[in-house]
């Protein structure tokens, strides 16, 4: 009886090593693809969070209009497009704010909160065509001749100065 262990043929030597190398390459390419997907998901989540914040800021601006009907009636909100003055300081005052001072406070406070967005800027103005304008400076507000207010927010969604600012708007008649 022959007790020798059969030896593998020389043609199969190193074949397992090649399988392992090919598997490692395929696995590496797959993991790189997963990393790219993860990066895109994070970027999309950041964009969605900024969009949500912009919607909240626009709703806040509209709520400020609705809560000061006397200020709307006397024209204090007609074109809040420039840089706001300092806080008028009447909120913590025992005598409170009049409608014009409250509109100034709303403009100041709302503009401060818009800074939570990257390059966040906004306007509240009379405008029957709210989906125009490219920035706070070029807001596209018509002004007189309409009773429709527009609350507009712009921000740099992709943080690239070469691309246009993203915009969210809301029209309302307070």
Confidence band for 79, pLDDT divided at 50, 70 and 90: confident
Predicted TM-score (pTM) above 0.75: yes
Whether 15 has a pLDDT exceeding 70, the answer reads no
For the chain, what are the domain ranges? 15-172
Distance CA 124, CA 80 (A): 5
165: phi then psi, degrees, rounded to nearest 5: -70, 150
Distance CA 78, CA 54 (A): 21
Distance CA 30, CA 22 (A): 12
Q: What is the pLDDT of residue 141?
A: 86
Q: Please list, in sequence order, all residues whose beta carbon lies within 8 angstroms of the beta carbon of residue 11, skipping any fewer than 6 positions away.
A: none
Average pLDDT value for the chain: 87
Ranges of H-type helices in the chain: 15-67, 69-73, 99-114
pLDDT tens for each residue of 148-159: 999 999 999 988
């Amino acid at each position: 009886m022959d007790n020798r262990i059969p030896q593998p043929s020389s043609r199969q030597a190193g074949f397992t090593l090649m399988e392992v190398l090919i598997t490692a390459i395929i696995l590496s390419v797959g993991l790189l693809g997963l990393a790219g997907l993860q990066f895109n998901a994070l970027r999309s989540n950041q964009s969605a969070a900024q969009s949500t914040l912009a919607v909240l800021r626009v709703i806040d601006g509209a709520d400020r209009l609705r809560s000061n009907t006397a200020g709307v009636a006397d024209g204090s909100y007609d074109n809040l497009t420039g840089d706001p003055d300092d806080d008028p300081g009447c909120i913590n005052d025992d005598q409170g704010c009049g409608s014009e001072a409250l509109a100034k406070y709303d403009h100041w406070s709302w503009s401060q909160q818009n800074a939570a967005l990257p390059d966040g800027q906004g306007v509240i103005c009379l405008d029957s065509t709210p989906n125009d304008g490219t920035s706070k400076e070029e807001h596209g507000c018509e002004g007189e001749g309409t009773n429709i207010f527009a609350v507009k927010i712009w921000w740099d969604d992709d943080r690239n100065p070469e691309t246009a600012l993203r915009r969210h708007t809301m029209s309302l008649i307070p």
